[in-house]
Amino acid sequence: EMAEKAGYPHFMLKEIYEQPRAIRDALHGNAGIIRSVAEEVARYEKIFIVAMGTSYHAGLVAKYLFQRLAKKVPIVEDASEFRYEFEDLVDENTLVIAITQSGETADTLAAMKLAKRKGAKVLAIVNVVGSMATRIADLTLYTHAGPEIGVAATKTYTTQLTVLTMLAIELARVLGTAGEEYLERLEMELNTVPELVERVLKHDGSLRELAEYLREKRDFFYIGRGISVPTALEGALKLKEISYIHAEGLSAGELKHGPLALLEDGVPVVAIAPGGKTFDKVVSNIEESKARGAYIISIGNRDDLGKVSDVFVKMPEMDELLTPIVYAVPLQLLAYHLAVLRGNDPDKPRNLAKSVTVE
Ligand code: G6P
């Protein structure tokens, strides 16, 4: 097992560090086939995205990508809900996109089978080659992340996002819903994401120090807007899964509608704040949290964030649509260090399984 960890103390840390390579493989592995899959997707008006856990968060990011680039509005449902709520709405004119690392999650497989029975087309985005999901699906895109041993998904999430971003770009091209010049620029930038992740991994040491400061905290809030809402949800999920600290991810606009009542001196609020049209709004959410004594950790690119935050984790500049991939990395590292400092085994969190094969 020591050899398999390649010198890292845990599989999770190894897998976090493998992300530049994994993302590169996802890009290369799908470059040749993304066009034909996008052409198929373009034929459908009614699109459902189904998944569980971290894969569900990838589905939520995909919703923003499809909306912004391809002007398509998919319905994203957790697979365990989809089965019961949408049964009557699925037909031959429906496309169901299932996202699953293992390809064996019971609820996701059941949703896929239901879709097939109703005559829908099923596209699966899967990591494990030859898994059950790939056998049920009409079409499969692989994430090429390699085996993931840590229970908490890391490299399989960022590679899912990579594939979904490629798909949304190509879909926009097929449908003519975005300018070719912009799409080319975005594609070029997507190809540099492995290097951006490489740079972000350099924050590891300072995130460990931050984790030391935060190790006794009991509640965390993760806030974001737009495409950063799923990033906030995923940051909170990572923390819950392995550090056993209670965490909530939410759209920053929802703060005022309840969670603000829970803020008091020293409660950590992690603000996912890339540039973009809602930047100023997020800054005002940070300020209102700060006014209640919250300890603000902001993740973004604009230096003015430094002035309103206790800790500013500076990200490289990039198109907002690519931030879910790169910004996931400091959140993974923060959760990892908190888990280790609190004496937990991040690879095998209590009560959780790598793949949930019962409903
Ligand atoms: C379990 C794992 C999660 C994963 C989820 C969905 O809960 O612990 O890390 O996100 O299942 O798994 P899947 O293999 O379908 O992506």
Kindly report the three-state secondary structure assignment for every residue of 299-310: EECCCHHHHHCC
DSSP sequence for 142-194: E-------SSS-SHHHHHHHHHHHHHHHHHHHHHT-S-HHHHHHHHHHHHTHH
- Distance from chain centroid for Cα 111: 21
d(CA 152, CA 150): 6
* Ligand 1 atom nearest 128 alpha carbon: 14
Residue 2, pLDDT > 80, answer: no
Q: Whose CA is nearest to atom 8 of ligand 1?
A: 354
- What confidence score (pLDDT) does residue 6 get? 87
Per-residue pLDDT band at 275 (split at 50, 70, 90):
confident
Indicate the pTM of the whole model.
0.97
Distance 266 CA to ligand 1 centre (A): 32
pLDDT given at position 58? 98
Condensed to tens digits (0 to 9), the pLDDT of residues 45-75 reads 999 999 999 999 999 999 999 999 999 999 9
Give the active site residue among 118, 281, 314, 354.
354
With a cut of 90, say whether residue 3 has pLDDT above it.
no
How far from the centroid of its chain's Cα atoms is residue 259's Cα?
23
Instruction: Specify the amino acid at residue 39.
Output: E
> Would you say the CB of residue 309 lies under 6 angstroms from ligand 1?
no
Cβ neighbours around 48 below 10 Å, total = 24
- Is residue 100 in contact with ligand 1, taking CB distance under 6 Å? yes
Rounded Cα gap, residues 215 and 197, in angstroms = 25
Residue 354 designated active-site: yes
Nearest CA to ligand 1 atom 4: 53
Nearest to 142 by CA among 32, 233, 306: 32
The length of the chain is 359
| 76-111: pLDDT as tens digits | 999 999 988 888 999 999 999 999 999 999 999 999
Per residue in 162-197, pLDDT (tens digit) is 999 999 999 999 999 999 999 999 999 999 999 999
Ligand 1 atom showing the smallest separation from residue 133 Cα: 15
Residue of 49, 78, 105, 241 best suited for mutating to test ligand 1, as the one with most atoms within 8 Å of CB? 105
